[in-house]
Chain A
Amino acid sequence: MALTGIQIFKLLPKTNCGECGVPTCLAFAMNLAAAKAELASCPYISAESKALLSEASAPPIRPVSIGSGDNVVKIGGETVLFRHEKTFVNKPGLALMISDAMPADEVAGRIKSFNLLKYEWIGLVLRAEMIAVRNESGDAGQFAALVKKVMDETDAALILMSDSADALKAALQVSAQRTPLIYAATDGNMEAMVALAKEYKCPLAAKAANLEDLTLLTDKISAAGVKDIVLDGGARTVRGAFEEQVFVRRAALVQKNRSLGFSTIAFPCEMTKEPMKEALIAAALIAKYAGIIVLSDFQGESLFPLLVARLNIYTDPQRPMMMQQGIYPIGNPNEDSPVLVTTNFALTYFIVSGEIEASRVPSWLMVMDTEGLSVLTAWAAGKFVGDAIGQFVKKSGITEKVKHRKIVIPGFVAAVSGDLEEELGSEWEVKIGPREAAHLAPFLKLGV
């Protein structure tokens, strides 16, 4: 259980040396309690206090990494209940289920989907990272063979699902170097599963029928020496799964309950047989705290919106999403096509480019670096004003793309048109566009 500032203060040297960056040990203690400082900043702390405090100052939800190489899924490490309070940090891993009882062509199809379904989105690649391999056949050799196949044909971070320690051991022998998640330790098989997790240095999922039992189970697993734990509280209804996630997150952050201070794994694939509904359950679990979400299948129509939802919810609200400065062609523009300029706040770009696209008037959209500010904010901050826009336009190379010398500015910054014309010179004509992007289509259709 985490300590209060005063409890931490009692363990500090109380010299007020200031070398940690704040003037007093009490202030440092308060920062430690609020997770705003690192214990390592104090050069004079005793070894004994350090051991006590390291334990107590560990993150409330333990970060765990699954996978290896370029595809490591890091989960946990969250510090807030609501994204606006700071940000959510580690996106939940999305996992595709493959069973060793599936026919070979089904397995091949799923592996193909896993490798294919990757999406470019504002300079990022959105993709699912995980495959859950389930030992449904009951046969250790068959299970290990499928794990090997998935290893050979994908870079997936793996979840090895079996009730049998022997089957898991066989699978771990071929996959341990990829640091898979072992699923799952239960009250009945705890010793064998802990032994595997320790032998192969892999994280271990703990599964119980409810959170009371899960608390007892994780205490035993921790005491046995396995620290990297992922929680499954057993709920398989929509309401139950939602509440389980809320309870675990609050227990870890509000109650400082170390027994539940871990990330979670959830199974929408076991909550409904309908793929569309499964996607909705997954979306709810993305918003509400799941660490890994296991889906029965991947289809473009459902995986794409889930990946976007995940990106949106896990976007840092303290830092705006930005576009790269540059000239963006929309709908195959040519040398006569209109030229519009806007700022590089990602949402501004999305909305403006979307409306231009909807107008079906091919255009050049010039996106200027305003440090991610929207049009009005950038204008108010003096970053989206006549001389700055003029400099950007002149250096952009747009004159190599169009014959004309007309540029459309957002209606909200009509006031800068004079300065802009002055900066660009008399051959340019500055046109005032609509104030709202929604009115771009009729504006463009009238001809610029």
Chain B
Amino acid sequence: MAFAIPKTTYTGKIKEVVLGKGPKAITVGGETSYPFHLFEGEMPHPPRIAIEVYDTPPDDWSEASLEPYRDVLRDPVAWAKKAAEVYGADLIALQLVSTDPNGLNIPSDQATETAKKVAAAVDIPVIVNGSGSPEKDAELLRKVAEACDGMNLVISPVVVDNYKQIGAGAIAYKHTVAANSPIDINLAKQLNILLGNLGVPDGQIIVDPTTGGLGYGIEYTYSVMERDRMAALTQQDERLQFPIICNLAKEIWKTKEAKAEDSPLMGNAAKRGVLMEAITAQLLLLAGADVLIMRHPEAIRLVREMITDLMA
């Protein structure tokens, strides 16, 4: 049988969402085909990479992940600047882990100050991640939204238990929300509907499907994302047509396999960690990620090259 390129017909399009403000604001989304299927559609905005910045010095990182940031671990502002200027981050992802009520439980006001300083110190878009405690995040992220009025941050994670409080702040102070659901396409859609009903404009919503790391559930995230893109692009499921963000680095570097020392069996520790992060990112890109939150500069370099090559 003769060969003809077998093309898929798409009926939907991913919405375009602008992140940040000013000349360095970036647009994500806009795809009219499955990821990198450029022979039958468009990917007008290549996937972007955010670099993590922590508000408190990490105490359990491996040598390989500490090394690039050793001089800035105690200073989130310096850390963000290094990520932007030295490692070329497209966005900063500020991880306000110190606010965790089960951890250091730093007051929201103090963390809000950190967020404000970091957002002011860089001209690229900033993602502000709470600790994942729905109650604390509701308070914290509302304050961050207010303090950074008009900067169009990505406020994250917004979950079904706190979307009203955080969503209201995002509307009032013009930020984008990352709608986070527990690896389930129906719950993801439901939260997008709720945010829409609340009045959050479509151009201010991106979806965080919850990311499982390599060996730790990536297949669930991978398939939920593929189903999401299929519904959005071929089944006109309008409430799933949002760009996707994956907060992956922390899931990789905390595993014992990423932390294990050099050995004949497991090879070089630093390269292994980098590859675990980069391979996770690569799989998520193929499943439909628009923004990747990453850590190691070498993993980022490799993933950027792959994005370029896949779009070449």
The interface of chain A, by Cβ under 8 A from chain B, is 1, 82-84, 116-117, 119, 121, 211-212, 214-215, 237-239, 242-243, 246-247, 250-251, 254-255, 257-260, 276-277, 279-281, 283-284, 287-288, 299-306, 308-309, 311-313, 315, 317, 347, 350-351, 354, 357-358, 434, 436, 438-439, 442-443
Q: Which of B65-73, B115-123, B170-178, B269-277 contacts A (4 or more CB under 8 A)?
A: B269-277
Chain A proximity mask over B210-222: 1 for CB below 8 Å, otherwise 0? 0010111111101
B102 near A443 (CB under 8 angstroms)?
Answer: yes
* Cβ–Cβ contact B283 & A283, under 8 A: yes
Partner of A305, one of B6, B214, B256, B303: B214
Give the shortest distance, in Å, between B113 (CB) and chain A (any CB): 24
Within 8 A of A (CB), among B251-277: 254-257, 263-269, 271-272, 274-276
Chain A: which residue is nearest B2 at the CB level?
A215
Q: Nearest Cβ distance between residue B279 and chain A, in whole angstroms?
A: 4
Bound-state Cα–Cα, A281 to B309, Å? 10
Which chain A positions have C-beta within 8 A of B271? 276, 299, 301-302
Nearest chain A CB to B246 CB, angstrom units: 15
- Does B278 touch A at the CB level, under 8 Å? yes
Q: Could you tell me how many residues of chain B have their Cβ less than 8 Å away from some Cβ of chain A?
A: 59
Residue on A nearest B298 in the bound complex, by CB: A276
Contact, CB under 8 Å: B309 / A357? no
Taking a contact as CB atoms under 8 Å apart, the answer to whether B282 and A238 are in contact is no
In the complex the two chains form, is A280's CB within 8 Å of B272's CB? Answer: no
Interface, chain B (partner A; CB < 8 A): 1-6, 8, 36-39, 60, 102-103, 132, 212, 214-220, 222-223, 226-227, 230, 254-257, 263-269, 271-272, 274-276, 278-279, 282-283, 286-287, 298, 302-303, 305-306, 309-312
B217 touches A347 (CB 8 A): yes
Among A214, A260, A304, A357, which residue has its beta carbon within 8 angstroms of that of B266? A304
Q: Shortest Cβ distance from A422 into chain B, in angstroms?
A: 29
Whether the pair A215, B311 counts as a contact (CB closer than 8 A) is no
> A280 to B306, alpha carbons, bound, how many Å?
8
Report the bound CA distance from A347 to B214 in whole Å: 11
In the complex, which of the residues B5, B217, B287, B303 contacts A350, with contact meaning CB atoms closer than 8 Å? B217
Chain B: minimal CB distance from A72 (Å): 25
Which residues of chain B are within 8 angstroms of A250 by Cβ–Cβ distance?
A: 6, 8
Within the complex, the shortest CB–CB distance from B68 to chain A, in Å, comes to 16
Alpha-carbon distance between A351 and B256 when the two chains are bound, in angstroms? 11
In the complex, the chain B residue whose C-beta lies closest to that of A250 is B6
Contact A239 B6 (CB under 8 A): no
Known: A283-B279, A305-B279. 4 other contacts (CB 8 A): A238-B310, A300-B267, A347-B212, A358-B60
Instruction: For B216, give its contact among A280, A350, A438, A443 (CB under 8 Å).
Output: A350
Task: Kindly state the separation between the CA atoms of A74 and B6 in the bound complex, as whole angstroms.
Answer: 26
Q: Give the distance in Å from the alpha carbon of A313 to the alpha carbon of B226 in the complex.
A: 12
B255, closest chain A residue (CB): A354
Residues of chain A within 8 A of B310, CB atoms compared = 238-239, 242, 284
What are 24 A-B contacts defined by CB distance under 8 Å? A82-B230, A83-B226, A84-B227, A121-B215, A215-B1, A237-B312, A239-B309, A242-B36, A247-B5, A277-B302, A283-B279, A284-B306, A287-B222, A304-B257, A304-B265, A308-B214, A309-B214, A312-B222, A313-B283, A347-B212, A354-B254, A438-B132, A439-B102, A443-B102
What residue of chain A has the Cβ atom nearest to residue B305's Cβ?
A277
| Contact in complex: B219, A83 (CB < 8 Å) | yes
With CB as the reference atom, state the residue of chain A lying closest to B223.
A84
Nearest chain B CB to A429 CB, angstrom units: 22
A246: which B residues are within 8 A, CB to CB? Answer: 37
Q: Is the beta-carbon distance between B278 and A239 smaller than 8 angstroms? A: no
Chain A residues within 8 Å of B265, by CB:
116-117, 119, 300, 304
Q: Which residues from A are CB-within-8-Å of B39?
A: 243
- On chain A, the residues within 8 Å of B278 by CB distance are 276, 279-280
Residues of chain B contacted by A287 (CB below 8 angstroms): 222, 282-283, 286-287
Nearest-neighbor residue (CB-CB) of B308 within chain A: A238
CA distance A317 to B302 in the complex (A): 29
Given the known inter-chain contacts A82-B226, A246-B37, A260-B3, please indicate yes or no for A354 contacting B256, CB distance below 8 A. Answer: yes
A239 lies within 8 A of B311 (CB): yes
A88 CB → nearest B CB, Å: 10
